[in-house]
Amino acid sequence: MNLIEELAWRGLIQDITPETEEQLNKELTSGYVGFDPTADSLHIGNLVPIMLLTHLQRSGHKPFALIGGATGRVGDPSGKTQERQLLTTEIIEHNLASQKKQLEQFLKFGDGPTDAEIVNNYEWFKKFTFLDFIRDVGKHITINYMMSKDSVKNRLESGMSFTEFSYQLIQGYDFYYLNKEKNIKLQMGGSDQWGNITTGIELTRRMGGGDTFAITAPLVKKADGTKFGKSEGGNVWLDAEKTSPYKFYQFWLNATDEDIENFIKVFSLLSRSDIEKLIAAHVEAPHLRLLQRTLAEELTLRIHGAHALEMAIEASSILFGNATAENLKKLSERDFLDVFQGVEQVEVARSLIEAGVDIVEMLSEISGFLSSKSEARRSLKENAISVNKDKVGEDYKVSASDLISDAYILLQRGKKKYFVVRAV
């Protein structure tokens, strides 16, 4: 596989240094991407650099993931309007360990020539004194060169500390060190990293290192101008504890038709021919949401596994399919609450439910779901009432056997009006 052709077709090349393609075609090349340890999980915004490493490995080259144990203590000013809050060593170490586990889900690690490796720049910075750094490294890059970078120019009016100003020099030294010690010739990242990456290339050249090359990918944007990777609740995380597999699945399933053709090229590992066939089929019948379902299933499977995907599909069918009480009771409490997030909820004494409650009483006076007993009886006669997705009649009694996750009962009128009772 020609890496540059593959990345270009997928829309994953923004900037590229001269002779990069020639280098990749000439020999097995090691390349790296840096990851910021400011959180204990990566999010879907990190998927673009992860995909760069994935395609690098699939094309027969060796990927390195650099975890910024040192640079994470400083903070990258690129795209930022203010300086970040510095984290403690303990927090950073915890975040590094968590991110490492996630990267192992995407890349093949081992001892082979193209197996991935993880490196932590704290390992080579922890013994580097400040005086040694400014003497041995800082002298090679001029202030004028550093001031020309967008990450600096964009902050001149609001102000920038020396800490942030030095960031590009520290990241630049990473490239020099990895080139010298591990023969890494390629650095990749998002387009906002171009300035930092080229500082590394220049520093390596001035310090007498070997050949270096760079590729950056465009920052993924949504067609409506909103930021990619954000949902109403904030970041969409790869950690199932921060973003449930159901919500992760739903994020991709709800992508617009304007966005999904771009997303599937960027984030799917399907071949070009398979993706082009899917796009053609999607254009013919967009209401089937073939591209959205394909990408949602592929990414949920890769990140969360087969069981989580099965549960995410099951949960999605609750609202939009012909689900039953059996389907509902398979849901975990978290998935149930995610599915019915925003649905009105009321607390009812558990003892009352365990004793058995007449459905008319539950619908009206006890829960307040319907305004009166007469409205409840009328809805029941119209066969419009369901308990946990199963239709019920006037003689039905709500009991403890109806509890989902031993806590919830789902009441429904018609197809779209839901109400949740929580036993307390």
418 is in an annotated binding site: no
Helices (H), 161-256: 162-165, 167-182, 194-206, 245-253
Backbone angles phi, psi at 189, to 5 degrees: 175, -175
DSSP 109: B
- What's 39's DSSP letter? S
How far apart (Å, rounded) are the C-alpha atoms in residues 170 and 167?
Answer: 5
Amino acid of residue 284: E
User: Is 230 marked as binding a ligand?
Assistant: yes
HSE-CB for 281 with a 13 A CA cutoff? 13
Write out the two tokens for 250. Answer: 């739903």
Interatomic CA distance for residues 55 and 51, integer angstroms: 6
Q: How far from 145 is each of 17, 191, 194, 216, CA to CA, in Å?
A: 18, 19, 14, 20
Is residue 245 within 8 Å of residue 311, measured between CB atoms? yes
CA angle 97, 101, 102 (to 5 degrees): 120
> H helices of 235-367, where?
245-253, 257-267, 272-284, 290-304, 306-320, 325-329, 333-339, 350-355, 359-361
Q: CB of 31 within 8 A of CB of 184?
A: yes
For residue 366, count other CB atoms closer than 10 A to its CB.
18
Q: Is 32 annotated as a binding residue?
A: yes
Q: Write out the H or E segment, with its range, that includes residue 224.
A: none
**Binding region for ATP:** 230
Please enumerate, by residue number, every residue annotated as part of a binding site: 32, 167, 171, 230
Task: Could you list the residues known to form a binding site for L-tyrosine, using ranges.
Answer: 32, 167, 171
